[in-house]
Amino acid sequence: DLATVDAGIMQLEISEVHVDRTIAAAAELVADRLQEHSIRLEVDAAAAPKTFHGDEVRIRQILYNLLSNAANYAPEASTIRLACRQLADGVEFSVHDDGPGMPPDVLDSVFRRFEPRT
């Protein structure tokens, strides 16, 4: 998706993003999968702003992707943690699970764009 944004193919629809509503919508999309595996979702948005400017649909998609990935790798009956907080220069979302994580050789290149994955 970043490549399509960079190429001007995808237009972002910037508006006021409501943090609680966006988190709830993303959580609802993965709720069945979490329930199937007895995985609990813990949300910490106490340090988050009520709103920020961004593309709410894309933010929800990103959160869904992160939560879905966490649900795929989290152990049965574990907890996934989703946090949101205000930073000096923006808003940070983080997702943590107790899955196996990525191998060290993948960590070196995982955030490089257009890096092939095997």
C-alpha–C-alpha distance, residues 94 and 44, integer Å: 10
Q: What are the tens digits of pLDDT across the range 72-115?
A: 999 999 999 999 999 999 999 999 999 998 888 888 887 777 66
* Cβ 71 vs Cβ 98: under 8 Å: no
**Domain residues of the chain, as ranges?**
2-107
C-alpha–C-alpha distance, residues 7 and 66, integer Å: 24
* Cβ 60 vs Cβ 66: under 8 Å: no
What's this model's pTM, rounded to 2 decimal places? 0.86
CATH code of domain 2-107: 3.30.565.10
